[in-house]
Structures are given as structure tokens and as C-alpha cells.
Chains A and B, each alone.
Chain A
Amino acid sequence: MVRRVVILLFCLFHCSAPASAQPIEVSVFEGGEGLGFYRRIAQEFKDMVPTTPVRLEGDPRIADRLRIRILEGNLPEVTNASINAWSLIEHGELLPLDPWLDGPSWDGSTTWRETFSPGSLDAFTHQGKTYGVPLVYVVWSVYYDKAMFRRHGWERPKTWPEFLSLCQEISEVDLAPVAFQGRYPYYAKALVQNTYYQRAGPTAYAAQEALEPGSFHNDAMVETLSWLERLSGKYFQKGSLGMSHTEAQLEFFQGRAAMLFCGSWLFSEMQDNIPSNFELGAFPLPLPVSKFADPQASYATSGSWFVFKNSANPEAGVEFLRYLTSSKVAGAFASERGITVAVKGANAALHPMMVDVAHQLDGVRRTFGSPAGEVIPGMDQVWNDVLGKLMAGRLGAVEAVQELETGSVRARQRYEQPDRIEVRHIGKTTAFVAFVLGGLLLGWRRPSCSRATTGAGHHGRNLSFLGPALFVYTVFFVLPSLVAFLVSLTRWDGLGTPRWVGVANFSRLLLESDAFWVALQNNLYLMVVIPAIVLPLSLLLATALYHGVWGQRFFRIAFFFPNLLGVAGILLWQQLYNPQGGPINAILTALGMASFEGFAWLSPDHLYTALVPMGIWGACGFNMVLFLAAMQSISPDLFEVADLYGASAWEKFRYVTLPMIWETLIAATIFMLIGGMKAFEAIWLLTNQSPNTETHVVGTLMIRSMFVEQRIGQAAAIACLLFATVLVGSLFVHRFSGGEEAGQP
């Protein structure tokens, strides 16, 4: 009775309570500056509009998370993440903001649209409708320390020739002229695009943005890239290609490099790391000598805020944005965060440290910049790859231009003719198919007849013992794997409905895709090089332990440690490989190998070499313990017999130990091969979750297909090919080792 009353009261209370306000969700890119400013704004907004509390979510990788949320259908109201807005616009997921833009601004003095700097709204205007509003409006500059320049009597350069000769002067006093955020090659893209615009003019620039044929393959682009080539070849700080953006920027602020290219978020990002006697100065990016050179035109990009149409309360989201971009808030943002904003007049309040950038903006009459997100997908990867290789000295300007042109042609073709497949790798495809078929034919064995005994009549018992395991295993593992085969035969972006395309995904991956074969090659490298070292080494160590060195148990435990670590181990090695401050380079230089000073182990050039010691460290322990266990189960009688025959240590190993542990050896080999094929975490984490074309393995390529390119069918096809390789590879090893299949007596 009491219980019923309580329940009743509870219901009454709940029903009569005022409807609790539904919070809107704001997903923010969290850079170095943290979320403090946004939290304050969210609080102020809630105070003004109490029915709409704001739930803030911030993260440096917000874009990745958001992509997953979009696939899940779990949408926030508002975000400024760098997602692929174009695909979302096409699917009608983003709210067109024009009704509000044409309405009053937050302080009522004019329309909302009018409050923005000219051109800043263009980035996400499509077919007359505007889908994004900017807060941040970034210009790129060359940053320097005014005190340092004064000390040396250096002058701010205006043109590329002046810039390069300044670099030469700087290098002569033993200082690195330019720090560069090399792990992210796109930091050079602004520089390249600005130079190209100034060299070839607005029309040529627009053509390049639209990926028109020939827009890359021209003299102006060659000249542009030659400037970059010369700069990176001689004047980039040593090791910069392996440095993250904050690491390179730290080098700059700590005085080890004289200049830095960056967007106007630099101050905000590095605020806590600027020494007190540092006088931050900035000047515009160097201009080429050309009739098109226009000091009043500047490369600028807006950070855009979007509203999701299908979120719970999009109108409230728009209100939040109106507040966020009001002059008062934008002014506070510019003043506190020190980032230039797109709201007219608000930059007057820009933080004093950024005064040079404010001056730079003052003189600007025209802006141009690449719209964030790609209308034609795939080109970003090409830019990244080509710029990376150019700066690493692996490509000259002429070849780079050719690769950009080829890449743009392919991107365009794939966009305009999605069903067309260009055959480029017929030889490799044939070999692969032969490999798979061969393996299946060789390895296939008809299951032998089993001895049927008393199976009948025990259904209840059988079901209760076997049922649960079979059910879980089938539903949550086998079923999805089978479905993967089906999905691989479709084209699907995860949002709409899948479209049947037969083997097109496979044809494209095998016959056309360069990226797939490069990735497969990387897997092969991991499957061959690392086991080739690990297996003999662990065998050696196991033998040593077997012969009874003191502290066997201690060694066993310690050797196994690295195997336990997973992600933590990989991240540990990421720190070990730090170019400037990491112990590996420190030891190598101390040992006299000066070329390792600032060596960029984790840059695309050297990543796979760096993976070898890491792989050995991680895998030896496990294999050693495995072999040791196998050795210890060999009957001592065999050794006594060998002794009777006067066998030497080597002969005992060769004729007694080895055959007895053969099956374990084969199993270990197969595990390592499978591991090499399944490699994912190491490459994913060491490349900061964005490998480029030459560092991908098949596993990371799959995740990129699924979450970045949103080509679900392709992702599934990659997974199928991975599976086929693993299966066939194991079958081959098994067949040619002559061993019985483990587990089957």
C-alpha cells in the first residue's frame, strides 16, 4: 500500500513539474585554447534565454567524432567542426540560414548578414543559400620575434627573393630560419595557394579551385612550387617534417627558429607558451614578382558554424549562433583569444600581441581562400601527399605539378563519372587473384567424417551447453562478417540507401587504386621484415633461457611486458621518437651520429623504418615465452639419447629441439603474419590518426574509407580483401610447413 502511494506521488510530482528545458548541443573544435571562452558564452546565453541551456562538447578530434555521430543519426544542434559540409548539404542535413541572415542582427542595428566582413559568408553559400556562418576569420602571416630581428638588424621581406635571402642571412648565424609544422603538410598549402594567386591571378586561381584541366600543369604553378622547394630544402628547421604543429610552434617561441608560417590562431593556440620577453610580430606572406601581385588581396579562410536541420531544436541553435557572432561577443573573442574574427569592427579589439595582424587585415580589400570541405572529394589527400613529398625532397617542382594535375584529373573523373574505372594495375590484380584462388584450392580440405556416437536425444543438454556461445558468436561476429561481403557489393554513404554495384568496388581497388596497392605493400613489409627479425631473435632468447640462466622467471616476466601494452606502448614510442627532445635521437647523437640530430622518425619517409624496433620490442617477449614453454615440454629422454650419440649443442638444437617445437614455430609465424596484415593502431596513432597515401596500411585505409570518405561499400570491400589475404596466407604457410592443423588430433 505504501509503495503504491509513493509511486503515485512520484508520478504526480513528475507530471506537474515544469517541462525541463531541453539543452541544445554545441560541438566545438577544441584547440590549444581550451573551452573556457565558449563555456562563458554558453552560460551567458542560458542566462538570457533560460529555456535553452547549452551543452558544450569540445575536442581536438571533434570532426572524427561528429562524422560517427552523423552516421548514427545522433546530431548536435550546432558545430564548427571541419566536416564534409558539401555532402551534408546535398543530403539536406544542414539548415539554410538565410531566413535569419536577412533578419535583424543580435543588437538590432542592421541585418545579421550585414554584420559579417565582405566575402566571409561565401565559403558555404551554395545555389544562393548560405549554410554556414563564420566567427573566426583567419589570415595567414609569417610570424617573427621583433626583438630578435632588431638585434640582428634584419628587415621584414616583401617578396620571395627577399624572403629567401633573409633566410640565407639567418642560417649564417646558425639559427633555423623557418620552423615548420611538418607532420601536417597542409600548413604549406596556404603559402602555395597565396603565391599562386599572386603569380597567376584570380581567374587562374579559381580554375585551380574548380580542378579544371590544366589548372595545375602550368609554368606559374611550377614557379610557385619551386619557391617552396627551395625554402624547404635549405631553410626549414631540421626535423620539422616529423614535428606536430605545436611542437614546431614551440621551437619558434623558444627561439630556436626565426620565423613561422601560421594562421591567425597562433597566438590563441600558444598563449601559455610565449615567454614574457617575446615580441610577436607578423608580416604578410611573401609575394612573387608578377604583374598580378596584389598586396591588397589576402588568403583568408573562415571557420564556419553549421546547424543540423534534423537535430532536436535547430532554431534554438540558430539563436545561439546569432549571439555568438554578435559584435559584443565577437569583440570579446578577438580581444581575449587573440584570433581575428569575421564580424565587422570586432577586430579593433584584437589582443595587443596580434597588432601586426590587425594592421595586415586593415590593408586588405579582397580576400580569397579555399572553401573548407571539398566539393570534389579526394583532392585534399593529393595535396597532402604531393606537398609532403616535395618538402621531403623526393619530388621536384615539375614532377609535383604533374602529380597534382593527375590527381585532380582523377578526382574530377571519379566525381563526374562514378561508375568509370580506369585500369592501371592489371598485373598485380592477376597475381592477387591467382594467389587467392591458389590458396583456396590448395588449402581446402573436405571435413572428415566424424565418429557419430551418442549424439541423439540430448538436445536440451546440447542446447544449454553450446547454445549461448553459438548464439553470441554468430550474431555478433559471424553475421556481420558475412554481411560485410554483401555490403562490399554496394555503393553507400551511410546516410541514404545502398546501391548495388556488383564487383565495382573490388575492381576499383584492385585495378585502379594506387592507394590500395601502396597500403598492401606496407602490410607486406610489416609481415616480412618484422617476423624475419623477431622469430629468430625470440628463438635465440628462448634457447638462452632454456639453458637455465639465473633468474629465468624474472626474465620471462620482464620480456613479456611490452606485449601487454597496446595503445599505451605505441604512444610511449611516439615520445621516444620525438625529433628534438626524444631519447632515441639524444642517444644516437651522443654516440657520434650527428645526422640523427632532429631526425624525423615519424615522418612518412621514415615511419616504416621506425616501426621495426617498435615491432621487435612489442613482439619478441610473447614469442619467446611461447617457444620457451614449447621447449620445456620436450621430454628430457630425447636429449639423453642425443648425448649418447655425442651430438653437439647445435646438432641437438637442429635435430631434437627444432622438430619438437616446429608446430609452435609455425603457429607463431602465422600469428605474426596475421598481425602484420591486421596492423592498425600503430600506424593510426603514430600519424596522428591521419596517414597519407604512402603510409596507409589496408586497415587504416578501410577506416578512412568508412569515416572520412564515407564510402561504406568500399570500406567493406577493403575488409574482404584483407580477410582473403589473411586466410590464404595462413593456408599457404600451413600447407608448406607440413604441419597438422593445430587443435585437430
Chain B
Amino acid sequence: MKNRLSGWGIGSLLWAYLGMTLAPFLWLIVTSFKPSREIFMAPFALPDRATGANYVNAWRVGQLGESFFNSVVITVLVVLATLALSSTAAYALARFGLRRAKALQFYFLAGLMIPIQLSVVPLFFEMKALGLLNSRLGLGLVYLATSLPFAVFLLVGFFRSLPNSLREAAFLDGAGEWTVFSKIMLPLARPGLATIAIMTFLGVWNEYLVAFVLLGGGADQALTTLPLGLANLTQVGQFRTDFGLVFAGIVIVMLPTLIVYVTLERHLTKGLKMGANKG
């Protein structure tokens, strides 16, 4: 249904909301090029001399390079692991006709209800006992565990919607279970996988609380993730009254997320559309 709405009201509402959404970003970027002293003097003035010094400082002082590296490594590995584990598990639950399929599905679904805050306290001590505190591996495992519920939930729906005839035909041709899964079903589930990839990426990249608890509040600067690094940078910036640090830091942290999103947006929408169909 695409009748052109000539009403000024709706159109201008959209543009107004768009303006309000994007204005803070604009302000952020412009201000990040002002020298620190000028920043809160006149919020809307353009910088006298645009300077990239804040970016250099933020990168150096906040050791954002390290945080960046850690965040990238952890996020990429967690996304890949989530895709691998959730797709196999979801496929099994959807297609193997297991007796306990419903119960297991509910088991995974329950994870959506559990706020991570519930597990954070014992997680700290569990990881301490396993020697996985202050380690990327430990953090990655926790992120993987918390990404699985949503991933499994979405993919079960996907796999259920794929026609069973394909699978049966493949068996008749002599294909094994794994071949059917990897060569036929998985490619068909691509929109769902893309959605999971993006949602997991977002969930992990921006995650703060668990990283804070398991990485010692960011004590070891070589071992922070970006959100931790940025929060710490803000504290340092405040204490040094160097607000330029803060602004540049925020932009540096935001940029990759925005770029990834713009690139993969199409898949997200498709995936969400299909997910909406299930519900």
C-alpha cells in the first residue's frame, strides 16, 4: 500500500524527528575538532582552527588502539562462534524431531528472560575459579553464552519454515545429515544468519557491565574493550578538564558501528521481516 501521503503533517514529523536524531551527531563531530579549551565556551560556534589533536590524544591517552583490537577480536570470534553453535543447535531442534525438542527450546528461550545482572555476581567467582578472569577467552565465552538464546530462538523459526521436501529429497540422493545441513539448509537461512550476526555484533561490541566485572574494571589497559576504554577515558578527560578527549573518543568508538550497520542494513531488515512473520 503505497499511496502518496500529501499531508504536510506526517512528512514534516518525519523530517523533524530525523533532525532531532541526527543533530547530536552533528554537534558531536563538529565539537570534536575544537581545541579542548573552546569546547564549552560557545556550543554552537564553529571551531576557530579545526584541529585533529583531540583524536590523536584520545587514541593515545585512552589507549584506544588496544581497546579497539580487543573489541574487534572478541566480537568477531563471538559472532562466528554464535553462528556456528546456534545454527547447528537450532537445526537440530527444528528438524531432528527430538522428543525433548520443545523442552530444550524453552530452556534456551528462558535465557532471554534472565538479565545478565543475575549471573554477573557468581560469574565473577566462577571465572576466578576457572582462571578465566581478565582474559579475552573468558569474556568471549560469556558473551557467546548470552548470545545463544536469541540466536537459537530466531533460527529455529527459520529452519522450521524451510520446506521438509528439500531435506527428504537430499536424503534420497544419499546425502548425509551434515551435508544437508551445510550445503542446503544453511545457505537458505542466510537472512536469519545475517540478522543474528548483526544483533550479536551490536550486543557484544557495546557491552559494558560484564566487561567491567570480568576485566577488572579496565584496570589493565591492554585488556579493555572499547566501551570500558571510553568510559575510563571520560573519567580521565573530566579529571584533566580535557573534554576534547571525550568527544574524539566517542566519535572513534561510534564510527565502526555506524559503518558496519550501514553496510549490512539490508540484511537486517530482511531478517527482521522474516522474524516478524514468524511471530
**Which residues on the B side are within 8 Å of A73 (C-beta)?**
128
Given the complex of chains A and B, what is the CA–CA distance between A630 and B216 in angstroms?
A: 42
Chain A 541-563 interface mask (CB, 8 Å, partner B; 1/0): 10111111100010111111111
Q: In whole angstroms, how far apart are the Cα atoms of A639 and B2 in the complex?
A: 11
The answer to the question of A730 belonging to the interface, with a C-beta cut-off of 8 Å to chain B, is yes
Q: Are B89 and A487 in contact (CB under 8 A)?
A: no
Given contacts A32-B240, A548-B2, contact A561 B21 (CB under 8 A): yes
B20 contacts chain A at the CB level, 8 A cutoff:
yes
Chain A contact residues, CB within 8 Å of chain B: 30-32, 34, 57, 59-61, 64-66, 68-69, 71-74, 244, 246-247, 250, 269-270, 272-273, 447-448, 450-455, 458, 461-462, 464-466, 468-470, 472-473, 475-481, 483-484, 487, 494, 540-541, 543-549, 553, 555-569, 571-576, 578, 580-583, 586, 617, 620-621, 625-626, 629-630, 632-633, 636, 639, 661, 663-664, 667, 674, 677-678, 680-681, 685, 688-689, 699, 702-703, 706, 712, 715-716, 719-720, 722-723, 726-727, 730, 742-745
Complex CA distance for A712 and B115, rounded to whole angstroms: 17
A249 CB to closest chain B CB (Å) equals: 8
Q: Which residues of A sit under 8 angstroms from B257, Cβ to Cβ?
A: 564-565, 568
Say yes or no: B118 contacts A723, CB within 8 Å.
Answer: yes
Q: A70 CA to B206 CA in the complex, in Å?
A: 27
Check A270/B241 contact, CB under 8 A, given A447-B102, A555-B18: yes
Q: Mark B208-234, 1 if CB is under 8 A from A, else 0.
A: 110001001111000000010011101
Say which residue of A487, A569, A730 sits within 8 Å of B121 (CB atoms): A487
Q: Besides the contacts A465-B96, A547-B3, A678-B115, what 19 more A-B pairs have beta carbons closer than 8 Å?
A: A450-B99, A466-B88, A473-B111, A473-B148, A476-B145, A559-B17, A564-B254, A566-B205, A567-B230, A567-B253, A571-B246, A581-B40, A581-B42, A586-B43, A661-B276, A664-B279, A699-B117, A699-B209, A723-B114
Inter-chain contacts of B209 with A (CB < 8 A) = 680-681, 699, 703
Q: Would you call B106 and A447 a contact (CB within 8 A)? A: yes
> Which of B109, B254, B279 is most buried by chain A, counting CB atoms within 10 A of its CB?
B279
Q: Are B278 and A30 in contact (CB under 8 A)?
A: no
Tell me whether B122 and A487 are in contact (CB under 8 A): yes
Most central of B11, B89, B109 by chain A CB within 10 Å? B89
CB distance from B179 to the nearest CB of A (A): 12
- Which 5 A-B pairs give the minimum distances between C-beta atoms? A581-B40, A566-B206, A476-B145, A469-B89, A453-B97
Cα A95 to Cα B101 in complex, Å, equals 58
Cα–Cα, bound, A458→B99 (Å): 12
User: A68-B213, A477-B142, A549-B11 in contact; A685/B231 too (CB < 8 A)?
Assistant: yes
Q: Are A455 and B97 closer than 8 Å at their CB atoms?
A: yes
Is residue B75 contacting chain A, with contact meaning CB distance below 8 A? no
Contact between A719 and B121 (Cβ–Cβ < 8 Å)? yes
Let me know if B231 and A571 touch, CB within 8 A. Answer: yes
Across the interface, name the chain A residue whose C-beta is closest to B97.
A453
Interface majority SS on B: helix, strand, loop or mixed?
helix
B177 lies within 8 A of chain A by Cβ: yes
- Residues of B whose CB lies within 8 Å of any CB of A are 1-5, 10-11, 13-14, 17-18, 20-22, 24-25, 27-28, 31, 39-44, 84-86, 88-89, 91-93, 96-106, 108-109, 111, 113-126, 128, 133-134, 141-142, 144-146, 148-149, 152-153, 156-157, 160, 177, 181, 202, 205-209, 213, 216-219, 227, 230-232, 234-236, 238-241, 243, 246-247, 250, 253-254, 257-258, 261-262, 265, 268-269, 272-273, 275-279
Out of A60, A273, A544, name the residue touching B14 (CB < 8 Å): A544
- Main SS of the interface on chain A? helix
- Give bound CA distance, A156 to B204, whole Å: 56
Contacts of A71 in B (CB 8 A): 124, 128
A480 touches B119 (CB 8 A): yes
Given A555-B18, A571-B231: A65 and B217 interface contact (C-beta under 8 Å): yes
Q: Roughly how many angstroms separate A264 CA and B232 CA in the complex, as a whole number?
A: 25
Task: Given A561-B25, A586-B44, A719-B120, decide whether A629 and B276 contact each other with a Cβ distance below 8 A.
Answer: yes
Complex Cα–Cα for A688 and B24 (A): 21
Q: Is the Cβ of A567 less than 8 Å from the Cβ of B261?
A: no
User: B128, A72: Cβ atoms under 8 Å?
Assistant: yes
Chain B positions within 8 Å of A555 at CB level: 14, 18
CA–CA, A59 and B219, complex, Å: 8
Chain B residue contacts of A487, Cβ below 8 A: 121-122
| Distance to closest chain A CB from B108 (angstroms) | 7
| CB <8 Å contact, B21 and A575 | no
CB A675 to nearest CB in B, in angstroms, measures 10
CB pair B276 A626 closer than 8 Å: yes
Residues of B within 8 A of A560 (CB): 261, 265
Is B261 a contact of A557 with CB atoms below 8 Å? yes
B14–A726 CB distance below 8 A: no
Q: Which residues of A contact B88 (CB under 8 A)?
A: 464-466, 468-469
Cβ-defined contact, A632 with B21, below 8 A? no
What distance in Å separates the Cβ of A634 from its nearest Cβ neighbour in chain B? 8
Whether A72 contacts B241 by the Cβ 8 Å rule is no
Chain B residue contacts of A664, Cβ below 8 A = 276, 279
Judging by beta carbons under 8 Å apart, are B115 and A677 in contact? yes
Closest to A464 in B: B88
Sample (16) of A-B pairs whose CB atoms are under 8 Å apart: A73-B128, A447-B103, A450-B102, A455-B100, A469-B148, A480-B119, A566-B205, A567-B231, A575-B246, A576-B24, A625-B269, A626-B272, A633-B273, A719-B117, A722-B117, A743-B153
Cβ 8 A contact of B250, one of A447, A568, A617, A712: A568
B261 touching A68 by the CB < 8 A rule?
no
Residues in B neighbouring A470, C-beta threshold 8 A = 89, 104
Chain A residues closer than 8 Å to B21, beta-carbon distance: 558-559, 561-562, 617, 620-621
CB atoms of A483 and B96 under 8 A apart: no
Closest CB in chain B relative to A435 CB, distance in Å:
16
Q: Which residues of A contact B117 (CB under 8 A)?
A: 678, 680, 699, 702, 719, 722
Is the pair A743, B236 in contact by a Cβ cutoff of 8 Å?
no
Q: Which residues of chain A are near B144, meaning CB under 8 Å?
A: 472, 476
Complex contact B14–A549 (CB within 8 A): yes
Docked-complex contact A715 and B103, CB < 8 angstroms: no
Q: Is B99 a contact of A452 with CB atoms below 8 Å?
A: yes
Q: A572 CB to closest chain B CB, in angstroms?
A: 6
Q: Which residue of B lies closest to A66 (CB)?
A: B219
CB distance from A474 to the nearest CB of B (A): 8
Q: A558-B21, A568-B230 are in contact. Are A541 and B13 (CB under 8 A)?
A: yes
- For A583, what are the chain B residues with a Cβ–Cβ distance below 8 Å? 27, 43-44
User: In the complex, what residues of B have CB within 8 A of residue A568's CB?
Assistant: 206, 227, 230, 250, 253-254, 257
- In whole Å, how far is B126's beta carbon from the nearest beta carbon of chain A? 6
- Complex contacts, A548 vs chain B, CB 8 Å: 2-5
Q: Which residues of B contact A712 (CB under 8 A)?
A: 121
Is the beta-carbon distance between A674 and B157 smaller than 8 angstroms? no
Interface core residue of B116, B213, B239, B243 (most chain A CB under 10 Å)? B239
**In the bound complex, what is the Cα–Cα distance between A140 and B232 (angstroms)?**
28
**B28 to A572, Cβ gap below 8 A?**
yes
Given A555-B14, A559-B21: A629 and B102 interface contact (C-beta under 8 Å): no
